[in-house]
Amino acid sequence: MASGMCASTVVLLAMVPRGGHIVTTTDCYKETRMFIETFLPKLGITPTLIDASDIAGLQAIVNNHEVSMFFTESPTNPFLRCVDIKLVSEICHKRGTLVCIDGTIATPLNQKALALGADLVIQSATKYIGGHNDVLAGCISGSMKLVSEIRIMHNLLGGTLSPKAAYLLIWGIKTMHLRVKQQNSTTLRMARVLEAHPKVFYTPSVSLSAISGRKLMLPLLLPRATTGRVYYPGLPSHPEHHIAKRKMTYFGGLVTFETTIKFIDSLKIPYIATSFGGCESFVDQPAARNWDVPRDERLKYGLKDNLVRFSFGVEDFDDLKADILQALDTIPTKTSLYSHQNGVVSDKN
Ligand SMILES: *Cc1c(COP(=O)(O)O)cnc(C)c1O
Ligand SMILES: *[C@@H]1O[C@H](CO)[C@@H](O)[C@H](O)[C@H]1NC(C)=O
């Protein structure tokens, strides 16, 4: 398909009937969430959002409603939450609910969602499958029966892969196993370094709107010793590390963590860009990418201004490590208040 978004929207339009019910997770790729939350309701489709680990919640929803599909990423973007695909598939299948996993972040090498019980898997091939940040593509896998139904919707809507994009995918996919292995290694090693680093901060957001009557958020920076957060399924501190260990071969090349945004500007190797999964490292500030979402709303999804998502490429580990450490070093030790210089994203951006 022409893109990952084409794959997810075609699956949803083909598989969820008018008046249907769909369950998805709160942590989710932004455009997918927009489609589910703002477009599907126009077709009379009800979305329910649950936390990735809320198995009891999923059970209650599928038992009490006729749910057409449980649609989720695993790992999710940007917090890399992992869903127990085997367990959710068992729960959903008892009630005739389809399970569709967006496995983009895992890659098809890392996670065999169909073998674990999912009915459908989608991939944004724009990321690791293409692997060179030069092509948009997507794909859908599943049984012949389901894919044939989906193919009809795909033909109706268009979104066909161009020959040039297909050619770039044929090039890119040849090295996917090498890239993914290297990215796993670099990312796990760097995630451990970051988790132990004093400049990786935990910043609880304190809303002063009640006091001042204005929408003013004042996040306080506390040293990592309090509760530093690095979100990576390969770290024992990750809430679904036990699930990731069971279902994933590698833990992937994305890591999300909290620091100050000065960090991003001090980096020399990665591009500041929103995509991921290519040979070049990318760094991204999810709050800036969601500038059109009011801050209170962003915070509901945990998208603090100082959240950083790093996609490791295939550059030399020591070069990347040196670059990240020098960028962390530029953050003053006694950062106590969060200022505009540190990259607060205004609602009026
Ligand atoms: C990038 C991405 C998409 C959308 O893919 P495009 O190819 O950019 O349209 C969907 N889901 C996830 C998890 C992604 O990372
Ligand atoms: C992933 O990388 C880590 C760190 O280098 C390594 O210990 C581990 O063996 C790698 N995993 C696989 C499956 O290669």
Query: 119 CB contacts (<8 Å, ≥6 apart)?
Result: 89, 98, 99, 100, 142, 143, 146
Residue bearing tokens 């989608």: 122
pLDDT number for residue 249? 85
* pLDDT at residue 60 is higher than 70: yes
pLDDT digits (tens, 9 = 90+) for 283-297: 999 998 888 889 998
Q: Residue 203 — pLDDT band, cuts 50, 70, 90?
A: low
Coil, strand or helix: which one is 201?
coil
* 107 ligand 1 Cβ < 6 A: no
pLDDT at 293: 87
pLDDT greater than 90 at residue 211? no
* pLDDT for the residue 217: 45
Q: What is the DSSP letter of 260?
A: -
CB 268: neighbour CB atoms within 10 A?
Answer: 10
Least confident of 126-130, 138-142, 298-302: 298-302
CA 50 to chain CA centroid, nearest Å: 15
Whether the CB of 138 sits within 6 Å of ligand 1 = yes
The protein residue whose alpha carbon is closest to atom 3 in ligand 2 is: 185
Whether ligand 1 lies within 6 angstroms of the CB of 29 is answered as yes
- Tell me the pairing of strands 98-102 and 120-124: parallel
Q: Which of 3, 80, 124 to mutate to test the pocket of ligand 1 (most atoms within 8 A of CB)?
A: 124
Instruction: Report which of 187, 182, 324, 315 is spatially closest to residue 253, judged by C-alpha positions.
Output: 187
Dihedral, CA atoms, 33, 39, 41, 43, nearest 10 degrees? -140
| 285 Cβ inside 6 Å of ligand 1 | no
The residue with greater pLDDT, 196 or 223, is 196
Average pLDDT over residues 21-38: 93
The yes-or-no verdict on residue 318 having pLDDT over 50 is yes
Overall average pLDDT of the 118-141 stretch = 98
Ligand 1 pocket: which of 126, 132, 136, 311 to mutate (most atoms within 8 A of CB): 126
Q: Which residue is closest in CA terms to ligand 2's atom 8?
A: 185
- Tokens found for residue 66: 């006729």
Per-residue pLDDT at 227 exceeds 50:
no
pLDDT of residue 259: 87
Task: Check whether 345 has a pLDDT greater than 50.
Answer: yes
- Return the bridge partners of 21, or none: 46, 67
Q: Reply yes or no on whether the pLDDT at 222 is more than 60.
A: no
Atom in ligand 1 nearest the alpha carbon of residue 125: 7
Q: Which domains does the chain have, with CATH numbers?
A: 4-172 (3.40.640.10), 176-342 (3.90.1150.10)
* Closest protein CA for atom 4 of ligand 1: 4
> Which residue shows structure tokens 């670099």?
186
**CA distance linking residue 77 with residue 154, whole number of Å:** 25
Residue tagged 């980096």 (tokens): 267
How many Å apart are CA 283 and CA 263, to the nearest integer? 10
- How many Å apart are CA 148 and CA 181, to the nearest integer? 33
Distance CA 298, CA 309 (A): 15
pLDDT at 210: 37
What pLDDT shows up at residue 289? 85
Alpha helices in the chain (DSSP H): 4-15, 30-34, 55-64, 85-94, 107-110, 113-116, 144-157, 163-173, 176-195, 209-212, 224-227, 241-247, 262-266, 286-289, 295-300, 317-329
Report the pLDDT averaged over residues 99-113.
Answer: 96
pLDDT at 128: 98
Structure tokens given for 247 = 């279902």
Q: Tokens 């092509």 identify what position?
A: 135
Q: Band of the pLDDT at 206, cuts 50, 70, 90?
A: very low
Average pLDDT over residues 213-242: 66
Report the pLDDT averaged over residues 326-333: 89
pTM of full prediction above 0.85: yes
Residue 202 — very low, low, confident or very high, per pLDDT cuts 50/70/90? Answer: low
What count of Cα atoms within 13 Å lies in the side-chain half-sphere of residue 158?
A: 1
Residue 228: the pLDDT is 54
